[in-house]
Homo-oligomer: A and B are copies of this chain.
Amino acid sequence: MNNSEQIKCDCNVIHEEVVFKVRKKMPQEESLNQLADLFKVFGDSTRIKILWALSEAEMCVCDLAFLLNMTQSAISHQLRLLKQARLVKNRKEGKMVFYSLKDAHVKRIFKQGMIHSEEKE
């Protein structure tokens, strides 16, 4: 069985109209990829913990490392990803760098996730 046979099957013909309609409404490939990339950032327990902590208080790298019982290096690497994703911002104060949430979106995305996550099956 080759690839093209696998993709096109009888039910596609049956549902042709529905599939066609959905395809027409489908957002740009790039747009959905970006969305996946955003959620990818939330999809790691270390980053989730960092984001949660920062939703409570501005903190420096060292504090986060202490709070989460991880090395500064590991935290720093993750903070870089969070900054690239525009989820956190930072400000320098002497030797220390303080991180905080960039905007209110993070808390909202968090909250919606929590609602689903906490629901019992």
Contact = CB atoms under 8 A, between A and B. Distances in A.
Interface of A: 3, 6-12, 15, 18-19, 21-23, 25-27, 31-45, 47-49, 52-53, 56-57, 59-60, 62-63, 65-67, 69-73, 86, 96, 103, 105-106, 108-110, 112-119, 121
Copies of chain A in the complex: 2
Classify the interface of chain A: helix, strand, loop or mixed: helix
A105 B115 CA distance: 8
B48 A11 contact: no
Contact of A71 (B6, B36, B69, B108): B6
A106 B117 CA distance: 11
Contact of A66 (B12, B37, B48, B72): B12
Contacts of A35: 42, 48, 110, 113-114, 117
A94 to B, nearest CB: 10
A92 B85 CA distance: 40
Given A32-B49, A39-B42, A117-B38, A7 B71 contact: yes
